[in-house]
Structure 1
Amino acid sequence: MDSFPDGRGYLAACTAGLPTLGTIAAQRADLDAWSRAETSPAGYGALVEEGRALFASLVGVPAAQVATGSQTSVMAAVVADALPDDAEVVVPDGDFSSVVFPFLAQAHRGVRVRSVPLDRLAASVGPDTALVVWSAVQSASGVVTDPDPVVAAARRVGALTLCDLTQAAGVLPVSAAPFDVTVTHAYKWLCAPRGVAFMTLSDDALGRLRPVQAGWYAGEDVWSSCYGPAMRLADDARRFDVSPAWQAWPGAVAALRHAVSLDPRSTWRHATGLADRLCDALGSPRQGRGVGAAAGGGAEGQAIVTFPDADGTALRAVTAAGLTASGRAGRLRIAFHHWNDEDDVSAVVAALAGVEPATSQA
């Protein structure tokens, strides 16, 4: 908690993380350097490479399998473009649009997106399935999916897997290694500035996907790839890089340094422990307990907990109490991260006193 500014009452890491003190210092230093004309593309490029290596360490893959960008939907669109005509894509009901819309946009060439209940995701993979897409942690509900049955089902039929780690990396122990592709935006639980995203690709995915968004930053030597028509693409995942949003990277690297310095299992225990205390205090069942192994870490519980709130009464009560939370899919959404403690649990309970929708069974 000492690594962050005062985050008391901020219960929305699932919407946007808070900056570490190191990130704030790095962003301010970069702004000052820019004002003195002391920044350069090469300097930012070095930060991108450090960030790539840090993220690779965080999710347990070699840096050569990590591509960088700024939006997860753009990365998912690369996968969508590589699908053959008339391919079937299986997704969970209600998953985040950034990993659904790019595939729906391929309907003109016969690509079919089949939406199924999350708990039936693995069972719904069939011989016609070319790709399975899901989020490790569901944005709207905080539900954590055991990836092993899904990956096993996809492998049995030769389908690729794409897992969005945006709501997981930084709070839940995760590994990108089991998946063909992962996409992660770092501005949520990793607490980076918005505009820094990562894509991991297995050897199979590297061979099957095309860098349709390739620009100068996808070159083997980015500094000699500024002009056409000849271009040599990078041999590894860097061929999927897009030109970085320079000013976001100093703070992102500082945030990633902080993330890799922590024990992710302790981070998860802290967050889920607070979530459990909140559920207990509200008389609601603990969420995510007894559901099996979580993504790559064997952990149970949820860092995001939600409660019925169809008319927004509970969210308005929490907001009126000076707390920051969010509402999604007709539910109040509360997220716990590094800066939260039991005082935040008590504050939510006090704010919701007498608010029936949030104190009834989830």
Structure 2
Amino acid sequence: MTALPAAYLEQFSEPPGYLEFASTGPVPRRVREAVSGALEAVAAPRASAWEEVADSYDGALAAVARLLAVRPDQVTTVPSTSAGLFQAAFGLIGKGGNVVVPAHEFPANIYPWLRAAEAGGPEVRLIDCPDGRVTPERVAGAVDEHTAAVSVSLVDFVTGFRVDVAGLRAACGRALLVIDAIQGLGAVEAALDPADVLVAGGQKWMRAGWGSGVMAVGEGAWERLAPTLTGWWGVQEFLDFGLAPPHAPRDTAGRFQEGSPPYFGALQMGAAVEVIELAGIRAIEAAIRERVAALEEAVRAAGAEVLAPWRRPEERAGILCFRLPGEEAAATVARLAEAGLVVSCRSGWVRVAPHASTPPETAARLGESLPA
């Protein structure tokens, strides 16, 4: 059993039966304190209050950059996964070609590409993966010399299947590899490299709360993504109001900002990274793996069918889906709710998603709540 520092575990106060981190991660104490402190500062502001909040923005970017193993200038904040994916999709308008996306992706990774295509962006090619496995071979079969980008989830929101990012990078050829990392960031070790763009909201496994998120841009994508949606804050000399627009885009990932950055969301992300650093992402990933394995053992002992597209341990993350014979998933979710276990129903399956702070004994509690 992976040992986690008390300083890390003391940050959390969610109920022991909470197994919905694939939906929303309860925020730790340090995130709450960061937000409440900023709100207090601007409730009765001194002359410098807003400047102090804004000054903390760079520190938050530096923290996120550490987590993603990139330079701070390669990172910007976004209020949601969708916002970052819209930046990537609309950055390819007028470039021609096509973009490859698995058909079973969460809609946040489909709509930006569809909307961009309607506005003159690349044609969208949705590829079928009936068994839920988004493999390099399947992607390579859909990519051609006109493919501008491939956009996939790091971890599938239903199956928990974790893609081989390095293999996908090789399969993409010249195309940009865009990763929707919301179901992995904070749960597994996830650097930007070898992808070109990584986007993730912070409200799930990062436990940073709603309105937080990150977009990281690699050097291979820097000049290939036009700052189509860039607003006043995403340009150089943005406070020089005597200089008529348009100004040149920033020479950082900040060029992908529509307007004023989500300062509070950035504080949330920065504080969430600091909490992760109390234990280390590798220890957190190992603890989650142990929790998922114990939960799987419990549901299999109850005769449940497990949705298992993975074939190797590295193809798994923090999500487990199952269903009981002869019982609708919604009924199982209701049964577990009565036992104090918070789970969800996705695509006809019961989805459970523990975090490192989930008590080990929760697996036994789940097993006891299922029919023998």
- Give the aligned partner of residue 236 of structure 1: 252
Of 79, 93, 98, which aligns to 1:88?
A: 98
Partner-residue secondary structure (3-state), 1:138: coil
- Report the alpha carbon displacement of residue 135 of structure 1 after superposing the two structures with TM: 0.6
Q: Tell me if 1:135 matches 2:144.
A: no
Counterpart for residue 360 of structure 2: 342
For structure 2, the 5+ residue unaligned runs are 1-8
Q: Which residue of 2 aligns with 1:320?
A: 338
Residue 53 of structure 1 aligns to a residue in which SS?
helix
Deviation at 1:229, TM superposition (A): 2.4
Query: Do the aligned partners of residues 248 and 180 (structure 1) sit closer, same or farther apart at CA in structure 2, a change above 3 Å counting?
Result: closer
Q: Secondary structure at the match of 1:324?
A: coil
Given candidates 5, 11, 31, the residue that maps to 1:3 is 11
How far is 1:46 from its partner?
Answer: 2.0
**Mapping of residues 108-119 of structure 1, within 5 Å:** 108=118, 109=120, 111-117=123-129, 118-119=134-135
| Rounded Cα–Cα distance in structure 2 between residues aligned with 1:221 and 1:50 | 21
Native 8 Å contact 1:95 1:138 kept in 2: yes
How many positions carry a matched residue from both structures?
A: 347
Conserved? CA contact 2:197–2:215, under 8 Å: yes
Contact 1:7–1:339 (Cα < 8 Å) also in 2: no
Q: CA deviation at 1:14?
A: 1.0
Identity %: 23
Quote the offset at 1:241 in angstroms. 2.6
Asked whether the equivalents of residues 59 and 176 of structure 1 are also in contact (C-alpha less than 8 Å), the reply is: yes
- Distance in 1, Cα, partners of 2:248 & 2:368: 61
Rounded Cα–Cα distance in structure 1 between residues aligned with 2:199 and 2:346? 22
Classify 1:312/1:27 alpha carbon distance in 2 versus 1 (closer, same or farther; 3 Å).
Answer: same
Name the SS for the 1:46 alignment partner.
Answer: helix
Separation in 1 of the partners of 2:242 and 2:313? 46
Select the residue among 67, 75, 82 that pairs with 1:58: 67
Query: What is the TM-score of this pair, normalised by structure 2?
Result: 0.85
- One-letter code of the match for 1:233? P
Q: Which runs of 5+ in 1 are unaligned?
A: 295-299, 355-362
Distance of 1:40 and 1:265 partners within structure 2: 37
Asked if 2 retains the 8 angstrom alpha-carbon contact of 1:308 and 1:332, the reply is: yes
Residue 203 of structure 1: how far off its partner (Å): 1.5
Equivalent residues in 2 for 1:165-204 (5 A)? 165-204=181-220
Question: What TM-score comes out, normalization by structure 1 length?
Answer: 0.87
Distance verdict in 2 for CA 1:37–1:113, change over 3 Å? same
Shift in alpha-carbon separation, 1:254–1:318, aligned structure 2, 3 A:
same
The CA deviation at 1:132 is 0.8
**Closer/same/farther in 2, CA of residues 321 and 210 from structure 1, 3 Å limit:** same
1:71 aligns with 2:89: no
Distance 1:83 1:214, change over 3 A: closer
Which residue is equivalent to 1:15? 23
Mapped to 1, the partners of 2:205 and 2:65 lie a distance apart of: 16
> What does the per-residue CA deviation read over 1:144-200, in whole Å, with 9 as the maximum and x for residues that have no partner?
111122110112xx2111011111111101111101111111111111121121111
The CA distance in 1 between the partners of 2:310 and 2:334, in whole Å, is 31
Note the 1:124-273 alignment, pairs <5 A: 124-127=141-144, 128-155=146-173, 158-224=174-240, 228-242=244-258, 243-273=260-290
TM-aligned CA distance change 1:250 to 1:102, over 3 Å = closer
Note if contact 2:104-2:128 (Cα within 8 Å) is conserved in structure 1: no
The letter of the residue matching 1:167 is: Q
Deviation sequence 1:38-92 (CA, Å, 0-9, x none): 4743222222211111111101111111122212222212222214465222112
Asked whether the equivalents of residues 81 and 200 of structure 2 are also in contact (C-alpha less than 8 Å), the reply is yes
More displaced, 113-122 or 320-329?
113-122
RMSD of aligned residue pairs (Cα, Å): 2.5
